[in-house]
Homo-oligomer: A and B are copies of this chain.
């Protein structure tokens, strides 16, 4: 069961005091080279791991963790991430942690800039970032690196930065999975289409790009004969969306499967449902409440999910471990599972069990 050896034992074995061992364990300096090596040898020999609980008890510090993510709209993607964060905060509520959300509008680079600046000013102990805008993220992370504040990415990662932790799915694999599901849910010899929502801002769509890549790759390998088209719709302008979508479908009657590379599948599903179009399968991302509704009413065939809640949970958990125990040696980049949800398994889909 390990954990029999305690700091006092280590101290005794190394011929120093508990205080010294603690200083070494936490790289707190003020130790002679001699003590350090002696203690480190004993540490290694005994495989010592210290007790989280007692540590947490005496560590009276309050940690402030800042969270910079797109505004969490109830029932949508970032809301799940936030639930995961809150869930973790609750699970670890015996450690004094305060959280501070700095939401930003994911379509507005200025709001992002403002949010990120406020974060840097607050000098929190750790930061969770949902990185939408690349350059903004870069400058925030630079600032944090300078201050020695650890940060974690959720949902996606920005290249060339050095987060303590990062969580995301292999987006190409997600795209392939969407392709497979669409392929399965359409009659043979269908053509397929990717419907993209036009973004107001320049956005990232980093994720969407990789998803498209995986998607088209799948069809090229599997049935190169079937066409994969592409069309656009607009989230803020429903009437225009409806016109565009219906036109596209009328002009391309061979298209029996539509992929939406984000969570907006319900918009298309609702249009088709409302206008009585049938026999077109829709697959998209994320179990938002709108998509749940559409899976239930049969207008969406399946959804691919990336455990947003678990990502939020583990971001907090990981940062805490980092702060409390200097456990930065762990694997930093976590590739989340890609979940498939359809009507049959929807009722049981949960990322958490307890509570």
Seen from chain A, the residues whose Cβ lies within 8 Å of a Cβ on chain B are 1-3, 49, 51-54, 56-57, 89, 93-98, 167, 169-170, 173, 176-177, 179-180, 184-185, 187-188, 218, 304, 310, 314, 317-318, 330, 334-345, 347-351, 353-355
- The distance in angstroms between the C-alpha atoms of A349 and B169, with both chains bound, is 11
Q: Is the CB–CB distance between B173 and A94 below 8 Å?
A: no
- The distance in angstroms between the C-alpha atoms of A98 and B355, with both chains bound, is 25
Identify the closest chain B residue to A350 (Cβ).
Answer: B337
Q: Is the CB–CB distance between A51 and B94 below 8 Å?
A: yes
- Given A344-B173, A348-B336: A52 and B94 within 8 A (CB)? yes
- The distance in angstroms between the C-alpha atoms of A37 and B336, with both chains bound, is 48
Enumerate chain B residues within 8 angstroms of A349, measured Cβ to Cβ: 337-338
- The distance in angstroms between the C-alpha atoms of A167 and B97, with both chains bound, is 31
Identify the closest chain B residue to A62 (Cβ).
Answer: B1
Identify the closest chain B residue to A92 (Cβ).
Answer: B52
- The distance in angstroms between the C-alpha atoms of A177 and B176, with both chains bound, is 21
Enumerate chain B residues within 8 angstroms of A97, measured Cβ to Cβ: 1
Q: Is the CB–CB distance between A169 and B57 below 8 Å?
A: no
Q: Is the CB–CB distance between B340 and A340 below 8 Å?
A: yes
Question: What are 10 A-B contacts defined by CB distance under 8 Å?
Answer: A1-B97, A3-B93, A3-B94, A52-B94, A173-B344, A173-B347, A180-B342, A218-B344, A314-B353, A340-B345
- The distance in angstroms between the C-alpha atoms of A336 and B354, with both chains bound, is 11
Enumerate chain B residues within 8 angstroms of A340, measured Cβ to Cβ: 339-342, 345
- The distance in angstroms between the C-alpha atoms of A40 and B310, with both chains bound, is 35
Closest 10 CB pairs of A and B: A338-B345, A53-B53, A177-B344, A53-B56, A340-B340, A184-B184, A176-B344, A51-B94, A52-B94, A180-B344
Contact for A345 among B49, B339, B347, CB less than 8 A = B339
- The distance in angstroms between the C-alpha atoms of A51 and B317, with both chains bound, is 18
Identify the closest chain B residue to A170 (Cβ).
Answer: B348
Contacts A1-B97, A330-B354, A330-B355 known; 15 new A-B pairs at CB < 8 A: A1-B98, A3-B96, A49-B93, A53-B53, A53-B57, A173-B347, A176-B344, A177-B345, A180-B344, A314-B353, A317-B354, A335-B348, A337-B345, A337-B351, A340-B340
Enumerate chain B residues within 8 angstroms of A317, measured Cβ to Cβ: 354
Q: Is the CB–CB distance between B354 and A314 below 8 Å?
A: yes
